[in-house]
Amino acid sequence: MTADVTAALDEAFRAEWGKVIATLIGMTGDWDLAEECAQDAFTQALRSWPRDGVPRRPGAWLTTVARNRALDRLRRHASEAAKLQQAVILSPPDDPAGGAVDTHITDDRLRLIFTCCHPALPLEARVALTLRTLAGLTTAEIARAFLTAEPTMAKRLVRAKQKIRNAAIPYRVPPAHLLPERTSGVLAVLYLLFNEGYAATAGSRLVRHDLCAEAIRLARVLAGLMPDEPEARALLALMLFHHSRRTSRVNAAGDVVTLENQDRSLWDHEEIGEGVSLLAAAVRREQRGPYLLQAAIAQCHATAATAEDTDWGLIADLYGVLAQMVPSPVVELNRAVAVGMADGPEAGLKLADALAASGKLTGYYLLPATRADLLRRLGRSAEAAVSYREALDLAVNDAERRYLARRLAEAEGTAPQQSRA
């Protein structure tokens, strides 16, 4: 097989798997049949493309093959006459050239993503099902990505598909009155997927499959399918801003490098540029959702030429609006950090102390870590040391622990003072 054909197959798999599955579920209502027939179609491509050449529209080719396979299978089961009839009614007239098929595919993929992320499914099942049916990851890959045994993951997927069938979770884009809530549910699954991957790159975990890339790919699909939904674009922008810093977040020793100390020349400026234009398009819609605000904050960091150029005042304001929209002590903590940068550590410490007094973040290591940093900047080393030690007791991630230990040593005067940021 030539490298060209291999690349074409690879590309087709990434781009088309979800579409093929979505179309077949829409046509047959049978998730397992859809998976089997999609697999068949890709196997068929593996055999025939090297011999006959890559078709002009690989997606349409794959969809047609998979659909014919599904019809064959259904016809073979005379007992499933009713199902077949339904399938025939639902399936559009055969169109091997794929002219009118695309719009139909588009709809089906949106139906698929809303079904996979239905809130009646357990959260982990939503994530797994999305990766399996939309991203085309194998059960083994998903299991590895989530540090789960493969049989457990297989069971989870089977269970989820059973529940969709037995509890009659509808295969559709939700009606208008449910759409905002369900859309934010879908976005939450994709962002969870991204964060899972993002946290892993900085921890001591090895993930074979890049969950961040999958999350971005799916968010891009969703933003394309829902052009009227600014939050979908904003989520994609948010992911891109974070992802642009992936190489500079950890140094050669595996230690976390804080944002202010990162080498900004390593940042992926193409991704930042895409994020900026996505956000600009989203902002034009005049809706301010939580992802838009978070993306706007991330943009402030991503577009600052140096750490000193960061517009901390704007960031503090954005966190203020966000905190009102989605009350959360973690957002409050981030606001305290931003205020500490914009108006000085004294002002930030005041907010952080209020948060500590509320008890809402008890046990969360970033609260004492933040207080420690603010105390350090105020020159109150002894108090800073106490807080660093507290944070160290709570942190679980290795890289974070190394960072805190270093800071603690500094505050206790047992290590050479690093250059002040």
Partner 1 sequence: MTHRRAAYFNELDASGVRLLGDRLRPGSDATTVRVRDADVLLADGPFAETKEQIAGFDIIECADLDQAIEVASKHPVATFGAIEVRPFWEE
- Closest approach of partner 1 to the CB of residue 132, in Å: 17
Q: Is 326 in the site for partner 1 (CB under 8 A)?
A: no
HSE value, Cβ hemisphere, 13 Å, CA-based, for 107: 9
**Which span sits near partner 1 by CB under 8 A: 121-129, 211-219, 267-275, 339-347?**
121-129
Q: How far apart are CA 412 and CA 408, in angstroms?
A: 6
Taking the least distance from each CB to partner 1, the nearer of 137 and 164 is 164
Q: How far apart are CA 403 and CA 407, in angstroms?
A: 6
Going residue by residue from 179 to 218, which x/- string records binding to partner 1, judged by CB under 8 A? --x-------------------------------------
- Closest approach of partner 1 to the CB of residue 285, in Å: 25
The partner residues of 250 in beta bridges, in order of sequence, read 256
**Which span sits near partner 1 by CB under 8 A: 114-122, 311-319, 364-372, 409-417?**
114-122
Taking the least distance from each CB to partner 1, the nearer of 31 and 319 is 31
Among 79, 103, 166, 306, binds partner 1 (CB under 8 A): 166
**Which span sits near partner 1 by CB under 8 A: 115-123, 192-200, 210-218, 356-364?**
115-123
Taking the least distance from each CB to partner 1, the nearer of 167 and 382 is 167
Among 53, 92, 170, 254, binds partner 1 (CB under 8 A): 170
Among 20, 121, 355, 391, binds partner 1 (CB under 8 A): 121
For the chain, the helix, strand and coil percentages under 3-state DSSP, each to the nearest 5: 70, 0, 25
Contact between residue 58 and residue 101 where contact means Cβ atoms under 8 Å apart: no
Q: Is 119 in the site for partner 1 (CB under 8 A)?
A: yes
Q: Categorise residue 210: left if φ over 0, alpha if ψ from -120 to 50, beta otherwise.
A: beta
Going residue by residue from 27 to 66, which x/- string records binding to partner 1, judged by CB under 8 A? ----------------------------------------
**Which span sits near partner 1 by CB under 8 A: 42-50, 159-167, 290-298, 372-380?**
159-167
Among 1, 88, 149, 178, binds partner 1 (CB under 8 A): 178
**Which span sits near partner 1 by CB under 8 A: 52-60, 66-74, 119-127, 264-272?**
119-127
C-alpha dist (Å) from residue 385 to 157, 183, 363: 47, 44, 17
In DSSP notation, 389-413 reads: HHHHHH---HHHHHHHHHHHHHHTT
Q: Is 327 in the site for partner 1 (CB under 8 A)?
A: no
**Which span sits near partner 1 by CB under 8 A: 35-43, 165-173, 362-370, 373-381?**
165-173
HSE value, Cβ hemisphere, 13 Å, CA-based, for 201: 20
C-alpha dist (Å) from residue 12 to 9, 18, 345, 383: 5, 10, 53, 58
Q: How many residues bind partner 1 (CB under 8 A)?
A: 17
Q: How far apart are CA 195 and CA 242, in angstroms?
A: 10
Q: How far apart are CA 169 and CA 156, in angstroms?
A: 16
Among 167, 266, 415, 421, binds partner 1 (CB under 8 A): 167
Contact between residue 111 and residue 26 where contact means Cβ atoms under 8 Å apart: yes
Q: Is 152 in the site for partner 1 (CB under 8 A)?
A: no
Taking the least distance from each CB to partner 1, the nearer of 88 and 167 is 167
In DSSP notation, 330-342 reads: HHHHHHHHHHHHH
Q: Is 127 in the site for partner 1 (CB under 8 A)?
A: no
- Closest approach of partner 1 to the CB of residue 171, in Å: 9
Q: How far apart are CA 202 and CA 175, in angstroms?
A: 40
Among 122, 151, 327, 344, binds partner 1 (CB under 8 A): 122
Among 159, 220, 285, 402, binds partner 1 (CB under 8 A): 159
Q: How far apart are CA 358 and CA 386, in angstroms?
A: 20
Q: In this structure, what DSSP letter does residue 326 have?
A: S
Please, which of residues 370-389 interact with partner 1 by CB under 8 A?
A: none
AA letter at 16: E
Q: Is 90 in the site for partner 1 (CB under 8 A)?
A: no
Long-range pairs, 391-398, Cβ under 8 A, ≥24 = 391/365, 391/366, 391/367, 392/365, 393/365, 394/363, 394/364, 394/365, 394/368, 395/365, 395/369, 396/365, 397/199, 397/202, 397/203, 397/204, 398/203, 398/204, 398/254
| Residues found near partner 1 in the complex (CB under 8 A) | 118-122, 125, 159, 162-163, 166-170, 174, 178, 181
